[in-house]
Structure 1
Amino acid sequence: MIRNLARDVGAFTSNVFFVTGETTALVDAGANFDLVARLDEHLDDLDRLYLTHTHPDHVENVAAVRDAFGVETWGYDTDSEYVDNAIEDGESVPIGDDEYEALFTPGHSPDHLCFYAEETGVCFAGDLVFANGSFGRTDLEGGDRPTLVESIRYLHDVVDGGLSALYVGHGPSVTERPLDDVEIALQASQMG
């Protein structure tokens, strides 16, 4: 089961996906709300915390989650204080009951990852793409529009034909025709 623990938070935060199964995991930690209290409602133990990238709105709650659950974090750049274990492009990681392929997708940030489970068609897209064809901004430090376009193309090529659900860093998840949203993002990101 995938549940967004930040769904009704009024403050600025990223979505925080809690995935149950063989490997109980979080995808991103969010900011500006008490994530530990929300986790305490659902579990006694947490196996892993994955980070799509280390912008503040995705990592502010990392320290509290580490302290409360003794969990290590996984992300692209171990030079970041938020990342304990490196994940390489193409590496397989367990989330819930499935194996996800890590896709290195910089452009919004230089350390951005998406996670895609080919068997189920589920993708955690972070801030690469969003519902309705929106895509991550590139005006923050480390952002680069041409790199973002290539990353969206990479995601599109990997998920083409198999995408069933897109869980994004902000806003609603896409569970109906999610490949359409990725294609619109690819087209729109190439303009301007």
Structure 2
Amino acid sequence: MRIHNLTFGSKDYSCNVYLVQGDWDTVSDVNTLIDVGTDVAIIPRIKARLSGIGKKKIDQVLLTHGDYDHVQILPDIKAVFNPVVYGSNQLMQVDKALENGQSIRIGDKIFKVVHPDIHGSDSLCFLCQEEAVIFTGDAPIHRCHEKGYYSDKFLNVLEMLTHNNIKEIYPGHGPPVLRDASKMIMDSFIKAKKTKKRSI
């Protein structure tokens, strides 16, 4: 699996837009954009990348949630690449709704859809248990603090992630976490649990 941040160095305010491709560009690989952001400069960057003989540059778009900085140029992406758009059933822009726990192929790997119950009811994360990789959108799975409020469902999601030995976190903003990811999630879970105890 290859992961490219297309908005790295962007001058526009945008979320991270990840292009995920298979290692060998095989017929079964699903070229995927995770979020689309606000910067149309990603379109020529997508066109310039190899995508496999006879394959579409973008097969599908997965939306982590509907904030403008994550979805603004979706009409442009659809006009140029005609992908299938997936996301929460609360988003009018999606062609197909995703359910919590559903499996979906991204690049050459199978991911699990995780509804984190934070940062809006339309938020989704995408977890590859085989590679121990997660795309989190704006869900703060690795940066909870002791002054926040976190629902029981979100705490359950965090606890589940502590058992997955996550190696890499790809957030909606900021750099990816490529070292000590599982420790950061555990620390985040411990802090979030403390807020729950104080509220009882």
Q: TM-score, normalised by structure 2?
A: 0.81
- CA distance in 1: counterparts of 2:184 and 2:11, whole angstroms: 25
1:72 paired to 2:76: no
Counterpart of 1:38 in structure 2: which amino acid? R
- CA distance in 1: counterparts of 2:18 and 2:113, whole angstroms: 16
Contact 2:32 2:106 in 1 (8 A): yes
- Summarize the Cα distance change of 1:61–1:29 in structure 2 as closer, same or farther, 3 Å threshold: same
Counterpart of 2:122 (choices 111, 116, 141) is: 111
- Summarize the Cα distance change of 1:71–1:97 in structure 2 as closer, same or farther, 3 Å threshold: same
Structure 1 residue 41: Cα displacement: 1.6
Structure 1 residue 175: Cα displacement: 1.0
- Summarize the Cα distance change of 1:180–1:10 in structure 2 as closer, same or farther, 3 Å threshold: farther
Structure 1 residue 71: Cα displacement: 0.8
Counterpart of 2:143 (choices 120, 134, 144) is: 134
Counterpart of 2:187 (choices 172, 179, 184) is: 184
- CA distance in 2: counterparts of 1:145 and 1:28, whole angstroms: 26
Deviates more, 1:174-183 or 1:54-63: 174-183
Counterpart of 2:108 in structure 1: which amino acid? D
- CA distance in 2: counterparts of 1:64 and 1:135, whole angstroms: 34
Q: Which consecutive aligned stretches of 4+ in structure 1 deviate over 6 angstroms post-superposition?
A: none
1:146 paired to 2:150: yes
SS at match of 1:116: strand
CA deviation profile, 1:52-83 (whole Å, cap 9, x unmatched): 11111110111111110011210112x42221
Deviates more, 1:84-93 or 1:7-16: 7-16
1:2 paired to 2:3: yes
Indicate the residue corresponding to 1:94 in structure 2.
105
1:172 paired to 2:175: yes
Indicate the residue corresponding to 1:45 in structure 2.
57
- CA distance in 1: counterparts of 2:13 and 2:159, whole angstroms: 28
SS at match of 2:173: coil
* Identity within the alignment, %: 25
Counterpart of 2:101 in structure 1: which amino acid? G
Q: TM-score, normalised by structure 1?
A: 0.84
SS at match of 1:146: coil
SS at match of 1:73: strand
Counterpart of 1:101 in structure 2: which amino acid? K
CA deviation profile, 1:88-142 (whole Å, cap 9, x unmatched): 0000000011000000112211111111111111111111126xx4259xxxxxx
Q: Which has the larger radius of gyration?
A: 2
What's the C-alpha RMSD, in Å, of the aligned pairs?
2.2
Contact 1:105 1:128 in 2 (8 A): yes
Structure 1: give runs of 5+ residues left out of the alignment.
137-143
Structure 1 residue 186: Cα displacement: 2.7
